Structure 1
């Protein structure tokens, strides 16, 4: 089978199957949690991330969640909510949120796919979705740490985390 034929085969699969193929191609441990859900684990610079794809065929929506292993105690939730607002202003795709019951921080993005019209998830789209989620988690992970452990205000944390360096050390 040629590389092009292999790509076409991957592109024709259901969204969860395509995500599974992408995760396996990256060497990330993954498992299906049912027909419409897959969970994978990826190591970043700051944390171990749980990646979760959830397919809702009735809505034709693929929801992609990335958990950066951040849990917020009640005493820091107001500051983290403020940080989330500042962070989300910086994003073009997806958003961060904190689940009110557990205090878990998650990056979430949804994609509408009309599989009934043959517009399934392509391998390239799976890659773009996963990589964008990981890049945003890596970019903003320090903000959460500065607020939770560094004693910084959300504004200070954003400023400190998003410093652009110039040149080489």
Structure 2
């Protein structure tokens, strides 16, 4: 969690807010006209975060790319895994790009356009980023168990998503 002084609290244009957020975390980022991307280290892998702003629709699309590429022979098992994983998500979804075999998490958010310019609050930016990273971190082992551990999608989910009870 960031200190309140780290980011301006007033809502900003969506990509401006995300740029402030990435900068406050010390993540390297690259900004273009309607897109911003950043890199951050998770507990399992490096993630690329990418946001695309569609002003005409008032939609901010947020994509998170864990470092997972799926070979052609493993795609049917990963498609089944994605189906089972997506059943457990409230926001966003995982998908596999068929042309490249790249696994990603995607979420789109409607952005407040009640004023002349669309703005994104710090809370909304934090929710968007944190949700994407949390879901990638939570399900990364599932995909790895299928790809490298020889488990079926159901076995991988059962093995990776053990709920702990109490405290040690």
State the number of aligned residues: 163
Shift of 1:58: 1.0
* Distance (Å, rounded) in 1 between the aligned partners of 2:50 and 2:98: 19
TM-score (norm 2): 0.92
Q: Could you say if the C-alpha distance between residues 114 and 152 of structure 1 is closer, same or farther in structure 2, counting changes exceeding 3 Å?
A: same
How many Å apart are 1:49 and its aligned residue? 0.2
> What residue number does 1:35 align with?
33
Trace 1:1-169 onto structure 2 (pairs within 5 A): 6-8=8-10, 11=11, 13-32=12-31, 34-115=32-113, 117=115, 120-169=119-168
Instruction: In structure 2, list runs of 5 or more residues that go unmatched.
Output: none
TM-score of the superposition, structure 1-length normalised? 0.91
In the TM superposition, structure 1's runs of 4+ consecutive aligned residues that sit over 4 Å from their partners are none
Contact 2:39 2:46 in 1 (8 A): yes
Deviation at 1:119, TM superposition (A): 5.3
Following superposition, the deviation at residue 73 of structure 1 comes to 0.3
Give secondary structure in 1 for the equivalent of 2:155: helix
Paired with 2:166 and 2:144, the residues of 1 have a C-alpha distance of: 26
CA distance in 2, matches of 1:6, 1:98: 35
The structural deviation recorded for 1:35 is 1.3
Q: Secondary structure at the match of 1:7?
A: coil
RMSD value over aligned CA atoms?
1.7
Q: Name the CA distance, whole Å, in 1 between partners of 2:9 and 2:58.
A: 22
